Amino acid sequence: MGKNLTKRSEDYSKWYNELVIKADLAENSGVRGCMVIKPYGFAIWEKMQAGLDKMFKDTGHENAYFPLFIPKSYLSKEASHVEGFAKECAVVTHYRLKNAEDGSGIVVDENAKLEEELIVRPTSETIIWDTYRKWIQSYRDLPLLINQWANVVRWEMRTRLFLRTAEFLWQEGHTAHATRQEAIEEAELILNLYAEFAEKHMAVPVIKGTKTESERFAGAVETYCIEALMQDGKALQAGTSHFLGQNFARAFDVKFATKEGQQEHVWATSWGVSTRLMGALIMTHSDDNGLVLPPVLAPIQVVIVPIYKGLEVLEAIDEKVAPLVEALRDKGISVKYDNRDTHKPGFKFNEYELKGVPVRLAVGPRDLENGTYEVARRDTLQKEVVAADAVVEHISGLLDDIQQNLYNKAAAFRDDRITRVDDYEEFKNILENKGGFIAAHWDGTAETEERIKEETKATIRCIPLNAAKEEGSCILTGKPSQRRVLFAKAY
Amino acid sequence: MGKNLTKRSEDYSKWYNELVIKADLAENSGVRGCMVIKPYGFAIWEKMQAGLDKMFKDTGHENAYFPLFIPKSYLSKEASHVEGFAKECAVVTHYRLKNAEDGSGIVVDENAKLEEELIVRPTSETIIWDTYRKWIQSYRDLPLLINQWANVVRWEMRTRLFLRTAEFLWQEGHTAHATRQEAIEEAELILNLYAEFAEKHMAVPVIKGTKTESERFAGAVETYCIEALMQDGKALQAGTSHFLGQNFARAFDVKFATKEGQQEHVWATSWGVSTRLMGALIMTHSDDNGLVLPPVLAPIQVVIVPIYKGLEVLEAIDEKVAPLVEALRDKGISVKYDNRDTHKPGFKFNEYELKGVPVRLAVGPRDLENGTYEVARRDTLQKEVVAADAVVEHISGLLDDIQQNLYNKAAAFRDDRITRVDDYEEFKNILENKGGFIAAHWDGTAETEERIKEETKATIRCIPLNAAKEEGSCILTGKPSQRRVLFAKAY
């Protein structure tokens, strides 16, 4: 009856891989590095999409759709951009297959070679800015606030379900503005939106910051990010928002007439979150019994399991449960009544625990007699008996409690793992034995950043936005520094 | 001030192309055959998606996501399937670009050639049935009712916005069943669902039928379809639902244990509608003034335009309109109050007419005095003056009226263009001069079908499901026939 899930303490990485498979979230496909997102996993992603999409629209953004393919020449137009993506991209070179002349099967038709190779989009700045050139003439056309939900491909060599896959699903926002200041404000607005989504919907606490130059998006002037901490003490970048300056407007010659009639290059942002968020969600809350889902994103928020011998009792339970199901649905709570006669209650309990359903109700003959339900919460595994006439109200409050509790627990865990360190040996010691974020001084050079990475595998996750000015000396070189940055090993 | 739209009677095809561009629905991109779906067009597509998605879920289907890429060997496993798609597919052969050694720019890295080419999915039967083999062991795993929203690529040589593009967006359902009968019922359920969507949401009347063998989906045993009629008398296939028999289960070795413990191949269906529906929607209802949208799919259902000189009057109008906007939104009606001071009312009237907003309200000083609104409907261009305190109720009814009127008008047009013909010369005559569907007898052979197509460009759109048995003789060969089929020129 057990779930045969490796314990986190034994092998966190193995636990994660097993959990993703066993909870029916995703699996590897026959195509190298590409995953299949299974219905249960996809239902969670749909809830993420709906939540984010509403937030984008509430802040004035519209959805659109741009081509999957990017001509090679487009990608090459922004120098640092092509540098960042050329090494790992899928290239379409032909447009036809044919039967081999020697009868050996289906082969590429060499007579159907493309004049120019097409890249499967790794991100869409280039194709979008090529389009924006046609859309933007005057300041009246700005700002342009557009988002796209799409699949993208980056030819990663080492892949892991949700965390790093060759193809992944994401949204990418691409906005155009008349001024530098407005574009920066947009990038920051989205950063805050992402942080709010992570904390309120996913119950995942995040730190907002900017990336160092070497960790910036290829083509960005500034990359803002939100960083979360997983239970194994490793950080995970959960979303990025880029201020692109005028780089893409210059590369694609996108100018606008100002109010004063002058021609100026347009200012840009781009920003995205992806199915990687699924990895963050899973790793932040789940335990050795399986998935733990925050109620806001749970496809099934409440499951009801009847406990009975004999179909007569089941019928009585069916009758008792029917109005409860209706009452919960009326409150907008998604509920499943699992009265399958093919599986035992213990099997069902296990299954819903594994799948992270936030609240489980059990109802047996004694409950029928007493007018009660047994209510179990997934996050703490606590059970209590609740009177039937109070159960709707109880569940409603319980779902809020669970959402808040998951956030608080994750925040306490994370806060406990932000260590201020001023000595390089201690730095290495904390990194190995405790993990988490290390707040340390850094001299601001890429050389130091690179050496620390080589020696410890820790990278600078971000320069926190809320970091106070503080005189100090670099953890590695002893050179002067004005603020602490956050180091961590990361996914 | 005019819309400079070519008249339908002058050049229907040109009218369509211009309308799609001018109404901000879509445009061609820099990538051959791939379109950009602009925000206004995408908002309509989102409403289509939401409507269909709800219908799929209400009938027990779940969403999932499968890889974009299909290994060449997968495509080859079902013989007629590969035959149907190999000639027009995008082939990924490499996974890296590099700087050319002669400094001439970015080139494909020949050291990064894939061992096996990947096809950008033209449809996903093969990758999905390769996955289903792992998911299906027993009759308890069936039925499997899965849908995917995705982009697909078919390397079409002659493309037109929405109607035929190299990349398009669609949904593809892929279901697995224990019996032949159940799979057929699923294919028919979806056919009816598509017809209901077309008629109730899009206000597009459709004829349900089956395809002839030569028009069947590559790999299907039976293809069901819905066929609509455009204003130029040409038919448009709006959706297809395929009974696939055991073809893909055999090709991918997907068997299940029956209740009796025997191993049998699984029965399958697949079904899809695409952004092509946008083309059907546009061509069914729109007129020489621009787009005409059915209220159910209109991103903006009601637009309110103030008519004023001087900001004082505008302020009074603003004040009057604010509670109306709120009252309409409370009723779930999407409304836009366009009080931009940068554009004149006439410009706005034109713009919303062009964009097909179903109801337009105008309000000027006299309306302020009289407590009225001028209400114009887009479908008939009729105007009337309505008392302010009755306007919410009025609009609510009017939206229903418009939806119904659009359907009725399209149905009358279509019904008027179904002609029963028993003589081949008359067949050609009707086809050239009246267009529409021709109900004629056919001897059931692919040869006759092909000859008629060559001689007249008409294809058999479908064998209508509701066609009565009727003895007759083939329009071309005079051979005996038991029922009439529908011929038409088609998109």
What DSSP line would sit under A283-319, residue for residue?
HHH-BTTB----GGG-S-SEEEEE--SSHHHHHHHHH
pLDDT above 80 (res B429): yes
B131, B238: one domain: yes
Rounded to whole angstroms, the maximal C-alpha distance in chain A is: 83
Q: By the 8 A CB rule, do B226 and B194 touch?
A: yes
Domain containing B226 equals 12-71+124-285
Compute φ and ψ for B463, nearest 5 degrees.
-100, 105
The gap between the terminal CA atoms of chain A, to the nearest Å, is 33
Q: Which three-class secondary structure state does DSSP give residue A231? A: coil
pLDDT above 80 (res B1): no
A387, A427: one domain: no
- Structural domain contains residue B6: no
Of B37, B42, B89, the CB nearest to A97: B89
CA dist A24 and A39 (Å) reads 8
Q: Are strands A372-377 and B472-473 parallel, antiparallel or unpaired?
A: unpaired
CA dist B429 and A38 (Å) reads 54
Note whether A93 contacts B93, CB cutoff 8 Å: yes
> What's the alpha-carbon Rg for chain B, to the nearest Å?
26
B329, B457: one domain: no
pLDDT, tens only, A76-95: 898 888 888 999 999 999 99
The residue-averaged pLDDT of B38-51 equals 98
Note whether A36 contacts B65, CB cutoff 8 Å: yes
Taking CA–CA distances from A34, the nearest residue in chain B reads B67
Note whether A29 contacts B67, CB cutoff 8 Å: yes
CA dist B442 and B448 (Å) reads 8
Q: What is the pLDDT of residue B2?
A: 53
Of B68, B82, B87, the CB nearest to A151: B68
Domain with residue B362: its CATH number is 3.40.50.800
A327, A280: one domain: no
Q: By the 8 A CB rule, do A226 and A208 touch?
A: yes
Task: Give the CA-trace dihedral at A334, A339, A343, A344, to 10 degrees.
Answer: 100
**Burial B178-214, CB ≥16 within 10 A → b, else e:** beeebbbebbbbbbebbbebbbebbbbbbbbbbbbee
Q: How far is B147 from chain A (nearest CA, A)?
A: 9
**Per-residue CA distances from B105 to A42, A107, A119, A128, B100 (Å):** 41, 29, 15, 22, 5
**Burial A103-122, CB ≥16 within 10 A → b, else e:** eeebebbeebebeebbbbbb
DSSP secondary structure letter of residue B172? E
CA dist B472 and B483 (Å) reads 7
A146, A224: one domain: yes
Which residues, in sequence order, are CB contacts of A383 under 8 Å at separation 6+?
A: A374, A375, A376, A377
B281, B300: one domain: no
Phi-psi sector, B4: left (phi>0), alpha (psi -120 to 50), beta: left
Of A42, A106, A108, the CB nearest to B63: A42
Tokens of A322: 């029917």
Q: Which of B266, B285, B304 is the last residue of a domain?
A: B285
Chain A contact set for B155 (CB, 8 A): 95-96
Q: Which of A351, A370, A400 is the last residue of a domain?
A: A400
Domain with residue B151: its CATH number is 3.30.930.10
Q: How far is B86 from chain A (nearest CA, A)?
A: 5
The residue with tokens 């606030």 is A145
Site from A69, A89, A98, A132 to mutate, B interface, most B CB atoms within 10 angstroms: A69
Chain B contact set for A105 (CB, 8 A): 76
CA dist A400 and A381 (Å) reads 16
Note whether A29 contacts B108, CB cutoff 8 Å: no
Chain B contact set for A67 (CB, 8 A): 29, 31, 34-36, 167
- Structural domain contains residue B442: yes
Site from B21, B44, B58, B68 to mutate, A interface, most A CB atoms within 10 angstroms: B68
Chain B contact set for A145 (CB, 8 A): none
The total of structural domains in chain A comes to 3
CA dist A476 and A241 (Å) reads 29
- Structural domain contains residue A4: no
Q: By the 8 A CB rule, do B161 and B35 touch?
A: yes
Note whether B30 contacts A71, CB cutoff 8 Å: yes
Q: Which of B285, B307, B324 is the last residue of a domain?
A: B285
Chain A and chain B share a number of CB contacts under 8 A equal to 186
Note whether B68 contacts A153, CB cutoff 8 Å: yes
Report how far Cα B348 is from the mean position of its chain's Cα atoms: 29
Averaged pLDDT score across all residues of chain B: 96
Domain with residue A424: its CATH number is 3.30.110.30
Q: How far is A14 from chain B (nearest CA, A)?
A: 21
- Structural domain contains residue B91: no
A322, A463: one domain: no
Question: Which H, E and C letters describe B137-155, residue by residue?
Answer: CEHHHCCEEEEEEEEEECC
Q: How far is B375 from chain A (nearest CA, A)?
A: 28
- Structural domain contains residue B407: no
CA dist A307 and A313 (Å) reads 9
The residue-averaged pLDDT of B83-92 equals 94
DSSP secondary structure letter of residue B260? T
- Structural domain contains residue A290: no
Chain B contact set for A108 (CB, 8 A): 91, 93, 117
Site from A61, A106, A341 to mutate, B interface, most B CB atoms within 10 angstroms: A106
A69, A198: one domain: yes
B139, B212: one domain: yes
DSSP secondary structure letter of residue A201? I
Note whether A92 contacts B91, CB cutoff 8 Å: yes
B143, B200: one domain: yes
- Structural domain contains residue A111: no
ipTM exceeding 0.85, yes/no: yes
Note whether A64 contacts B36, CB cutoff 8 Å: yes
Of B38, B67, B70, the CB nearest to A36: B67
Site from B69, B94, B142, B161 to mutate, A interface, most A CB atoms within 10 angstroms: B69
- Structural domain contains residue B291: no
pLDDT interval class at B157 (50, 70, 90):
confident
CA dist B363 and A183 (Å) reads 37
**Per-residue CA distances from B153 to A96, A97, B63, B345 (Å):** 12, 14, 20, 43
Pure H helices in B202-294: 247-251, 276-285
**Per-residue CA distances from A265 to A66, A250, A346 (Å):** 22, 7, 65
B397, B431: one domain: no
Low-confidence ranges of chain A (pLDDT < 70): 1-3
Chain A contact set for B120 (CB, 8 A): 68, 92, 120
CA dist A82 and A85 (Å) reads 5
Note whether B67 contacts A342, CB cutoff 8 Å: no
Q: What is the pLDDT of residue B168?
A: 98
Q: What percent of chain B has pLDDT over 70?
A: 99
Q: How far is A374 from chain B (nearest CA, A)?
A: 29
Taking CA–CA distances from A25, the nearest residue in chain B reads B64
A238, A355: one domain: no
How many CB atoms lie under 10 A from the CB of residue A213?
14
Taking CA–CA distances from B36, the nearest residue in chain A reads A66
Helix (H) or strand (E) holding B183, with range, is helix B180-196
